[in-house]
Amino acid sequence: MNDLTSKSQQKPYFIEISLDRNGQRIDNFLISQLKGVPKSHIYRILRKGEVRVNKGRVKADYRLKAGDFVRIPPIRQSEKPKDQPGTNLLELIDRSILFEDKRVMVINKPPGMAVHGGSGISFGVIEALRALRPDFPYFELVHRLDRDTSGCLLIAKKRSALRQLHELFRTDQMQKQYLALVRGPWTGGKRKVDARLRKNVLKSGERMVEIQPDGKEALSYFEPIELYQSACLVRVILKTGRTHQIRVHAAHIGHPVAGDQKYGDGSFNQHMRALGLNRLFLHAAYLSFELAESGEISVTAPLSDELNGFLQKLK
């Protein structure tokens, strides 16, 4: 469903909550969806029960669950959103589509672009897709990638597909492979990292993930592909999909990801930047799954010319 415009929204509509919104407060979700609507009005429609989740009333602090159906009532927006995706960005998203059928779409997400708007970001991939195809009835994120991570991003085009894809993620029937450049030297071969992760939110609002015994289960496999003098290109296979999982696990085993400003090594990042790397070197390279009515789908997202060129410099 598109964000509202300055025109009147005449009828209520429903949004099914995707996995990436799991745990988000309903008030924050509405603020991100109803751009230009005063917060006072959003809290008013919550208090009056005009917003419903699974046909029931909820309070402002209700935390959404994947699969919830949110009813949003008719609303007149007080002002049009100031920022909209530009033509160049829409063309970039259109060129980034790697696979599409009637039920799903996979795009090669550009680095530096959020998967959705909110938290000070006017729009992301999902809003750009809705602007690119305003007449299409349904686009929802199946999972998310960090803003600075590029590569395969899976979008559902039907509610039934979204539910099936969530189940594939939950039951580990989704194959996900990443490419990452990490600090070297790398000794030995493939490494398994089984370290539980707990997400914390600092007073500043920044999200930080730590390895803690009481955290959520997180399992990653790191496999070296090419060794360089001060770095190593690795393939990472995820068996779970926790926030910042690869970056935290890589730092945990002493091989932080190049360009990681949050969990990485400052001197290593500076050295990589001097050689020409100006972004996080983390790329969702491969996605494979089987979906009813679509069959087996395998998608590869090639590294950008920028990252390939940098690897050539390291050689």
Residues with catalytic roles: 146
Burial of 295 per CB tally in 10 Å (0-12, 13-18, 19+): exposed
C-alpha dist (Å) from residue 75 to 7, 15, 17, 139: 9, 15, 20, 21
Kindly report whether the peptide bond that precedes residue 185 is cis, defined as omega within 30 degrees of 0.
yes
CB atoms within 10 A of CB 130: 17
- DSSP letter assigned to residue 90: H
Instruction: Name every residue whose Cβ is closer than 8 Å to that of residue 129 and which is 6 or more positions away in sequence.
Output: 93, 105, 107, 139, 155
Whole-angstrom distance, CA of residue 170 vs CA of residue 240: 8
| Helices 39-47 and 26-33: angle between axes, nearest 10 degrees | 130
* Type of residue at 195: A
* Residue 244 near residue 260, CB atoms below 8 Å: no
Q: What share of the chain is helix, strand, coil (3-state, %, to 5)?
A: 25, 30, 45
| Structural tokens at position 169 | 């993620």
* Residue 125 near residue 115, CB atoms below 8 Å: yes
End-to-end Cα separation, the chain, in angstroms: 47
| Structural tokens at position 37 | 């609507």
